Amino acid sequence: MQLIDFALIGLAIAAPTTQVRSAKEATTCPGVNGAQTSSNNNVAYRIECAKWVDSDEVLRITTTEVGYEGCLTACDGTIDCGIAQFIATDDAQIKGFCTLFKKGAAVKQGSSNSWTLATQIDSKPAPGNPTVPVPGDGDKFGLIVVKPGSPIHHQGITASHGSLLVGGKQDATCDTKSDFATFFINNGEAYLYSPSSTQQLWVDRSGMGQGISGYTTGTQEAPKNAERKSFKVDKDGHLTFEGVTPKACPGKDNDAGWSLWFSSADKPGFNEGCIGVALKALKEDNPVSCSYTGSS
């Protein structure tokens, strides 16, 4: 499983503006520790490493191809945003996606070289108290895990070879590069957002399946006991199946990602180390269409 590399947090507090240099001078979190950088809106931030956010109050999610600066700019342009988490998806740590949080979310010490705290030092007040939109029928959305204190907290959901995974490497051909899957629900049935062929989700709650989830492509049939209907984004913005939130179970190696099981069992599929998680649905204003690989 590919763990989160970096997080970028902008906490809106007023302080004197100081000289700002580019965070691009170093691409690793230790390299930029203590440095200052600015967003495209010329708002200054100070960066500190080894921090993480303990909150599920997500405003929205967006992609970036300019690293820290893209997340900072996205936070500047979002009402009530105080925290922008950057998750790198390439070795250069320039491409990735940002999860934006409300001001006041708890910030804690994180593992070394993993999280970055960027304190806003030249702030502009944002008006109003926006509500976080819950995706409706037909709306496109991404999914992130909400499980504070776990190794997969705030990791995105990917799709590969007919399986839905927490983390791991996505296998898809997309309009533009995307490292997490995009979904939508139509009348209780869930789909991956695809340019042409139908790519539909399923859950097998039988004694054989024990809640395992996946997807089919094109005219491919679902497993014998699989069900397709009863997906829903609830009032809290979490994806459920028949009202059940999933368990995530670790893969056999660190790069495999965690499998998702909609089950109340402690060890669905007889897997060890499974944990109950919530899947936060984040509406995408500019969804990326992808053709995802099917099962072999």
* Residuewise pLDDT in 10s, the chain (296 residues): 333 333 333 333 223 333 444 444 445 566 667 666 666 666 666 666 767 777 777 888 888 787 777 787 788 778 887 777 777 777 666 777 778 888 777 777 766 555 555 555 544 434 444 456 789 999 999 999 988 888 888 888 999 999 999 988 888 898 888 888 999 999 999 999 998 778 999 999 999 999 999 999 988 889 999 999 999 999 989 999 999 999 999 988 766 789 999 998 999 999 999 999 999 998 888 888 999 988 76
Looking at the fold, whether 169 and 272 belong to one and the same domain comes out as: yes
At which of 120, 152, 185 does a domain end? 120
* Residue 84 counted as domain residue: yes
117 contacts 107 by C-beta, under 8 angstroms: yes
Looking at the fold, whether 143 and 90 belong to one and the same domain comes out as: no
Report the alpha-carbon angle 13-99-171, nearest 5: 160
Q: Which CATH number belongs to the domain containing residue 93 in this structure?
A: 3.50.4
Looking at the fold, whether 83 and 161 belong to one and the same domain comes out as: no
Looking at the fold, whether 151 and 105 belong to one and the same domain comes out as: no
* pLDDT tens, residue by residue, 17-61: 334 444 444 455 666 676 666 666 666 666 667 677 777 778 888
Tokens of 184: 């939508």
At which of 120, 152, 174 does a domain end? 120
3-31 core/surface letters (b: 16 or more CB in 10 A; e: else):
ebbbbbbbbbeeeeeeebeebeeebebee
Q: Which CATH number belongs to the domain containing residue 192 in this structure?
A: 2.80.10
Looking at the fold, whether 161 and 72 belong to one and the same domain comes out as: no
Per the structure, the complete domain to which residue 61 belongs is given by: 35-120
Looking at the fold, whether 152 and 74 belong to one and the same domain comes out as: no
Looking at the fold, whether 146 and 285 belong to one and the same domain comes out as: yes
* Residue 5 counted as domain residue: no
Residues contacting 10, CB < 8 A, separation 6+: 45, 71, 72, 75, 76, 81, 82, 83, 84, 118, 119, 120
104 contacts 9 by C-beta, under 8 angstroms: no
91-111 core/surface letters (b: 16 or more CB in 10 A; e: else):
eebbbbbbbbbbbebebeebe
Number of structural domains found in the chain? 2
* Residue 268 counted as domain residue: yes
* pLDDT tens, residue by residue, 213-244: 999 998 888 999 999 999 999 998 999 999 99
